[in-house]
Amino acid sequence: MFAKRLPLLVLLVILIFYSKAQQLVLPGDHPDPSVVKIGDEYWAAGTTSNWFPAFTLYRSRDLVNWKAAGHVFTKMPDWAGYYMWAPEITYDNGKVYVYYSARKKEGSMCIAAAVAERPEGPYRDLGPLMCQEDGSIDAFPARDENGKLFILWKEDGNSAGKPTPIWAAEMKEDRTALAGEKKELFRADMPWERGLVEGVSVIRHHDYYYAFYAGAACCGRTCNYGTGVARSKSLLGPWEKYPGNPVLMDNAQWKCPGHGTPVEKDGRFYFLYHGYSTEGGVYAGRQGLLNEFAFTGDGWLRFLDNPNEANTVKPATVNDGFSTPALADGWHWSIFRNVTYAVAGNTLKLNALPDACGAYIGQSVLAANYESQVTLLNSSSSKAGLALIGDDKNMVAAAVYKNKLQLLQLKQDKTEVIAEKTIRMPTRLVLKVKVVNNTQATFMYSMDGKQFHILNKQPADISYLPPWDRAVRAGLVSKGNAGEVGYFKNFVLKHQ
């Protein structure tokens, strides 16, 4: 065991060393990422929460460069309402299983599973496995030393001011139900965990099972998340926590690192997890990070410092000319809204909704400073335009209706017009927004696509937009009555 009596200064140096080489591989809003190797590719998925479609899938050959590859759910499971969290993608006996959490309609958070013959789907939902009164989240499957299949999860006691034990129970091979009584593995009992542990994932190496887990508060401006490690020679315990926890914590570039999955590549071991950029903060959300670790001679593990591998994946420019029959995988909309659209002739037709937020779709913002623009056609009949989106109740949008261009602020479901221009709507109107430091947004418009006029001379304050668990989106909005539509061309989101 790692010596408990190491001098404090040495221990601090070790902890700082462990947290250096955090490599950005999934920019933007990718909380709770999981990863598995299937064939010669790696597949990943992350939390989408109240964005839909649920659980964007990604594929890669090197764990660093990822491409979107569809979604687990394009139709909500019949039993689920919202909060689609923590998909754990796995491969077993020739089938792909995704374990996930969701709030049951008129019920608590549950863990469930879906199955597919191929990682890209289609996935068939198998229904809930566990729905405790205070909620059940963060599922992870593992086989014990005798080959029996178990499911590990967190009881969401913190949602009711209670402890958060990590449980394990045997599961049927068809993943439709539990097959035994639950057993507690461990719970929060260290000061840094602040009464909360969650997001457990397990890897077996030689004599031990190793559990990566997150502790403390995951999300938002006041997060204090970190990552710990525990080990056991049996899946059901007893489990021993590493004396030097947390093994990942804040550094100059990333804060609140945690909730991920270990994976092996070419005999080396990596951990894919999330963290907030100290630059982008909550506005860019929890982003996907990769860190290499190695097992040590004393039966523990340590994260490595590989400076030549620490180059981050740069946020790409989104340039969508709506040239395919379906929207690109990067577009999401509210899980609570029946958003309908059509794509034809390099044009997006977005059907309006009468709610204060209208029908909207968004792309994740990836940097502190960025620009976005879109072309709005005068054949639009709805109040349509360009938006910066938090959720259904929080948005800032430049929208046109009957030759009137308005900058609308939706804050806590209350709408206010903060700027307005009367224009003669051209055949094509280009709308643009420039955001500085995540918080100041200046909207512009152009009648010819070349010369832009400022709509709001005083930048709009968008600091209120992001929800507690998600990032800001840049996107499109269409508000109005049934039958009214917005027509869009050439959406661009450029990060600086």
* Range 318-495 classified under CATH 3.40.50.970: no
The runs of H, that is alpha helices, within 182-326 are 281-284
**Whole-structure pTM value:** 0.94
What was the pLDDT predicted at 20? 52
pLDDT of residue 21: 77
CATH number of this structure's domain 8-309: 2.115.10.20
**What is the tens place of the pLDDT at every residue in 227-280?**
999 999 999 999 999 999 999 999 999 999 999 999 999 999 999 999 999 988
Q: What is the average pLDDT score of the chain?
A: 94
State the pLDDT confidence band at 221, using cuts at 50, 70 and 90. Answer: very high
User: Mean pLDDT over residues 308-330, rounded?
Assistant: 86
Tell me: the pLDDT tens digits for 168-182?
999 999 999 999 999
pLDDT at 308 over 90: no
Which tokens hold the place of 262?
A: 């270990």
C-alpha–C-alpha distance, residues 318 and 492, integer Å = 5
pLDDT per residue as tens digits for the range 183-207: 999 999 999 999 999 999 999 999 9
Any idea where the domains of the chain sit in the sequence?
8-309, 318-495
Tracing tokens 């269409």 back to the chain, one arrives at: 478
Cα 444 to the center of its chain, rounded Å: 30
Q: Coil, strand, or helix at residue 166?
A: strand
User: 40-76: per-residue pLDDT in tens?
Assistant: 999 999 999 999 999 999 999 999 999 999 999 999 9
Which two three-digit tokens encode residue 277?
């950029």
